Amino acid sequence: MFKNSKIYVAGHTGLLGSAFIRKLKEQRYSNIITRTHKELDLTNQNAVDEFFKKEQPEYVFLAAGLTGGIIANKTYPAKFLHTNISMQDNVFESAAKYEVRHLIFYGSSCIYPKNSPQPMKEEYLLTGIIEKTSEAYAIAKTAGIIACRAYNIQYKTNRFIALVPSSMYGHNDNFDPENSHVLSALIRKFHEAKAAGKNQVVLWGSGNPRREFIFSEDVADASIFTMLNAEKLENMHYNIGTGTDYSIKELAEIISEIVGFDGAVDWDTSKPDGAPKKLLDSSKFLKFAWKPSFALKEGLEITYQWYLNNFQQTRDGI
């Protein structure tokens, strides 16, 4: 991938997509293509085909997709399934038809079985029952990972690459209280409690589940690294994580300290926890000599500062 290669970033205004734009520009890539949802509906195959035919991108970062936390996944399962499968299938077909050099697709750690051995290795995919609250989204992401393999086999290429990052956070995250993931939801909840002078915050579940988090800038950096080293990869998906997980209680303590909220936390155990533990085994990817740059607290401080500067303009959920 050269500095003037034609690079299409799908979902460039979102959490991961905006990190790509910053990182690519920082590294002086000059030929970046973007389209808003209004300009290009990725669920429309004809529109996607016309776009690829006209623009002929050489490299594609497929960061577009519909995501959300437990509430959103339970409320809109059909929408999560249909939207994500439609988008990835349409882009895959056009990428194959117009012979892009490489495309990176992004899975999610929720693809692995709910009670998977820890840390989760790539080969644990499809070896057990997945968490019900994220079932539809996980099935769509699993389909994308299998599709990458299938296209490479059928067309005898290594065009399609699948990466599975741990839970991401950073600039342009979704802070909507109903549809956000746990980390961004906690930032907003603690901030609003502090601003309102409250002395207590109620959080869902027991606080015991453990999660691994990775800063979006690190995933963008790993993805560019992947494009530059694509010839070394096997036809499989690769986990990308930090190797360290935290309980939701620990995460809440770190975020409340960063925000400056010193009240009490009440855990509503009538609400679901989700999977008990999600820690990725990223050893297969890390052997290529890449490693993350941001520790969790550093990334959270940057994310909270972004939230303070932009929270009135943060994206709505579905």
- For residue range 172-207, what is the model confidence (pLDDT) as tens digits? 998 887 677 889 999 999 999 999 999 999 998 999
Mean pLDDT of 18-26: 96
Cβ atoms < 10 Å from Cβ of 176: 19
Residue 68, classed as helix, strand or coil, is coil
Measured over the CA atoms of residue 271, residue 277, residue 278 and residue 279, the dihedral's sign is positive
Residue 37 lies in a domain: yes
| Residue 180 vs residues 173, 186, 313, 318: alpha-carbon distances, Å | 8, 9, 15, 10
Per-residue pLDDT at 71: 76
Q: How confident is the model at residue 75 (pLDDT cuts 50, 70, 90)?
A: confident
* The pLDDT of residue 312 is above 80: no
In a domain? residue 97 = yes
pLDDT value at residue 313: 54
Per the domain annotation, does 55 fall within a domain? yes
By C-alpha distance, which of 229, 227, 284, 297 is closest to 258? 297
3-state secondary structure of 111: helix
pLDDT for residue 316: 41
d(CA 90, CA 142): 16
Residue 23 resides in a domain: yes
Q: How many CB atoms lie within 10 A of CB 89?
A: 18
Options 29, 137, 151, 307, the catalytic residue: 137
Return the CATH number at 85.
3.40.50.720
Tell me the H-state helices in 59-197.
Answer: 70-75, 77-97, 135-154, 182-195
Q: Give percent above pLDDT 70 in the chain.
A: 97
pLDDT, averaged across the chain: 93
Q: Which residues pair with 167 in a beta bridge?
A: 213
169 is catalytic: no
Mean pLDDT lowest for which of 7-11, 45-49, 178-182, 227-231?
178-182
Residue 256 forms part of a structural domain: no
Give the pLDDT confidence score for residue 58 in this predicted structure.
98
Supply the pLDDT for residue 174.
Answer: 86
Within-domain flag for 166: yes
> What percent of the chain has pLDDT above 90?
85
- Domain coverage including residue 23: 7-174+213-244+278-296
Q: How far apart are CA 73 and CA 90, in angstroms?
A: 23
Is residue 6 within 8 Å of 55, Cβ to Cβ?
Answer: yes
In a domain, 195, yes or no: no
Q: How confident is the model at residue 67 (pLDDT cuts 50, 70, 90)?
A: confident
**Scanning the structure block, which residue is given the tokens 């869902």?**
204
In a domain, 317, yes or no: no
pTM of the predicted structure, to 2 decimals = 0.92
In the chain, the number of structural domains is 1
DSSP letter at 91 equals: H
* The predicted structure's pLDDT at residue 310: 87
Q: For the segment 254-308, what is each residue's pLDDT rounded down to a tens digit? A: 999 999 999 999 999 998 787 788 999 999 999 999 999 999 999 999 999 999 9
